[in-house]
Amino acid sequence: MTFPTLPAALAAALSARGYADPTPVQAAVLDEAARGRDLLVSAQTGSGKTVAFGLAFANELLDEDGKLPVAAKPLALAIAPTRELALQVATELNWLYEGARGRVVTCVGGMDASKERRSLNHGAHIVVGTPGRLRDHLERGSLDLSALRAAVLDEADEMLDMGFREDLEQILDATPAERRTLLFSATIPRPIVALARTYQRDAHRIETTAGERGHGDIAYQAVTCAPADIENVVVNLLRLHEAETAILFCATRDNVRHLHASLNERGFGAVALSGEHSQSERNHALQALRDGRARVCVATDVAARGIDLPGLSLVVHVEVPRDAEVLQHRSGRTGRAGAKGTAVIIVPYPRRRRVEGMLRGARIEASWIQPPTPEAIRAADRDRLLVKLLAPVEVDEEDRALAERLLSEKTPAEIAAALVHAHRSALPPPEELIAAEQRAERRPPRPDIERGDFGPSAWFRLDAGRRQNADPRWLLPLLCRRGHVSKDEIGAIRIGPNETQFEVRGDVAGRFAQALGRTAGTDDSGIAIEPMDGAPSGPPPRSNDGPRHHARSTGQRPTGPRTGQPHRGQPRSVPGRGPR
């Protein structure tokens, strides 16, 4: 497939950039059925949609000779959810319309508004901006949309999720009714359909993701682990993949801040992106990733929207996404424009069922795997080192002279060993993991152990059992954190097929129950805890699906880190790490 007949200036720009064939979304918007019509396009990030809508509204901007009129009031408007995405869109449209002498002006939050007003006053063919800043210019009278011929909403679902509906409506209401409206969205939920019905006329629907398994160029993996091991699993994933660039998604600014500091402390080159960072800090972070000074980006969902990083081959969902759409948007940072990528979801044992449902809803087939072990990481390191050292290199006379001197003082084996040591010492060490499942398989089941000196107690239950890989090694820290008690105040822990029963010392049971109410929903475990009516009767529950695993608290905390969110008056705790 080749591009259809295009204006000479745009055809030359595409040729100069090496475009030979259109992507599916580009071919669809240029099809005869889409010509001149409003478009409702479902296309994934990285599918070439920016060039697609640049080509789609070309007929509205260019005259019969393929030229643009003198820049005055904007003829086309592109709205994007974030500063980074708006700037990327402007960059793409600049080179696409450079041959036609198109003038593209950006209006984005965090930039100098007075400079933007001056640029608008000098005239523009295309304006690209974020909803809030565009609305501000509109209200101040510096943006006149009365001559607009085409309006584009890029990543419309993201803009609605971010609360920009009112801004979008005000902007679109200020445009001529006969304009073309092109709405691009990775997903088409009901709010997008409602927006399309309000502001589009007989829209032509284009679906370029139908039948795809999420992003076709992304390999999805789900890594199960104990909640206390999340941060250690992150470290081992980074070490196993050694990706040129990786992005780690967290749910909150605090979690981003802590994980970023922890990775830098371990020796990873990491930067952070969250809502607390200024535009200058964001620009510095992105530039560090692009020029190789950093290889890992720790970010929140909102901060990372619209980011396009070359060489980004690994996305890690440190905290489980809230729904399938967030999962796909996060993962879409990799596997772009035909490149291959890997998206890894870290799944605490109690959240597995929820993640399985999310993957089914998104039509994503993920490989369920165990966390990388230190042995697997060291094996991968050996393979990478052999490839690196055996690759041909160009050397000069100074290199040869130094090599001769080394050979005169050391044997070749000693020199090779020194090279290996230097390489390994520069790498962060892998982390040891709890690996509850492996230990449960190795050890024989043991009978219940009751603590005779525990005294009066109250019993509680939680909705995780053997089928959810419940294990005292990670349950005990969770109970202490959620109930604000110490390990010595937790008694027997009885693990059944689908629930676990445990006792709490009687004199702290009331305080424990109150703390449960305050801390409900504050961590990523998804576990519900409630009191029982009296002590359990009879032997601990068992099922026919496997061996008995009945255990009491061992009195020992796991050596791994914890998960959770802060509560008032207590030290902060974040995924994979204990209180600081």
Separation CA 78–CA 168 (nearest Å): 11
- 153 in a structural domain: yes
Give the per-residue pLDDT at 213. 43
449 and 367 part of one domain? no
From 375, 405, 427, the end of a domain falls on 375
From 143, 172, 207, the end of a domain falls on 207
- 371 in a structural domain: yes
Report the CATH number at residue 47.
Answer: 3.40.50.300
* The residue type at 373: T
Radius of gyration of the chain (CA): 29
15 and 157 part of one domain? yes
- 576 in a structural domain: no
171 and 66 part of one domain? yes
133 and 239 part of one domain? no
> Facing residues of 298 across strands?
248, 272
Separation CA 294–CA 248 (nearest Å): 13
Q: What are phi and psi of 520, to 5 degrees?
A: -60, 130
> Facing residues of 348 across strands?
225
Would you give per-residue pLDDT tens digits along the chain (580 residues)?
567 678 889 989 998 888 878 888 888 888 889 889 999 998 766 678 899 999 999 989 998 778 899 999 999 999 998 888 888 899 999 999 999 999 999 999 878 899 999 999 999 999 999 999 999 999 999 999 999 999 999 988 878 877 788 899 999 999 999 999 999 887 777 888 888 889 999 899 988 754 444 455 789 999 998 887 899 999 999 999 999 899 999 988 889 999 999 999 888 989 998 878 887 888 888 889 888 899 999 998 876 666 777 778 899 999 998 888 788 878 887 876 567 889 999 998 888 888 998 898 888 899 999 999 999 999 999 998 888 888 888 888 888 899 899 999 989 899 888 888 888 888 888 888 865 444 444 444 433 434 445 678 999 999 988 888 888 888 888 898 888 888 888 999 999 988 999 999 988 999 899 888 887 766 667 788 999 988 887 655 444 333 333 343 333 333 333 333 333 333 333 344 443 3
Q: Cβ of 150: how many Cβ atoms within 10 Å?
A: 23
Which tokens is 289 given? 């990733």
- 410 in a structural domain: no
Could you list the beta-strand ranges (E) of 506-550. 529-531
| 3-state SS class at 210 | coil
Q: What are phi and psi of 476, to 5 degrees?
A: -60, -50
> 357, 383, 107, 98: which is closest to 240 by C-alpha?
383
174 and 272 part of one domain? no
193 and 235 part of one domain? no
222 and 107 part of one domain? no
224 and 173 part of one domain? no
Expressed as residue numbers, the domain containing 37 is 8-207
Separation CA 322–CA 325 (nearest Å): 8
> 541, 471, 527: which is closest to 352 by C-alpha?
527
From 145, 177, 207, the end of a domain falls on 207
| Predicted TM-score (pTM) above 0.95 | no
> Facing residues of 273 across strands?
299
Which tokens is 1 given? 């497939």
203 and 222 part of one domain? no
Separation CA 472–CA 492 (nearest Å): 10
324 and 453 part of one domain? no
- 411 in a structural domain: no
Which tokens is 551 given? 């255990």
Separation CA 185–CA 42 (nearest Å): 5
194 and 234 part of one domain? no
- 503 in a structural domain: yes
> 78, 205, 204: which is closest to 150 by C-alpha?
78
Separation CA 365–CA 177 (nearest Å): 44
Residues contacting 479, CB < 8 A, separation 6+: 485, 490, 502, 529
Q: What is the 3-state secondary structure of 351-414? A: HHHHHHHHHHHCCCCEEEECCCCHHHHHHHHHHHHHHHHHCCCCCCHHHHHHHHHHHHHCCHHH
Q: What are phi and psi of 200, to 5 degrees?
A: -120, 155
Report the CATH number at residue 476.
Answer: 3.30.70
- 389 in a structural domain: no
DSSP character at residue 468: G
Cβ density class 160-197: b for 16+ within 10 Å, e for less: bbbebeebbeebbebbeeebbbbbbbbbbeeebeebbe
166 and 227 part of one domain? no
CB 300 within 8 A of CB 253: yes
Residue 126: burial class (beta carbons within 10 Å; 0-12, 13-18, 19+): buried
Question: Quick one: CA torsion of 255, 219, 81, 252, rounded to 10 degrees?
Answer: -10
Residue 284: burial class (beta carbons within 10 Å; 0-12, 13-18, 19+): middle
Q: Cβ of 545: how many Cβ atoms within 10 Å?
A: 8
Could you list the beta-strand ranges (E) of 134-174. 150-153
CB 92 within 8 A of CB 49: no
Separation CA 365–CA 344 (nearest Å): 12
Structural domains of the chain, count: 3
- 42 in a structural domain: yes
Separation CA 233–CA 577 (nearest Å): 11
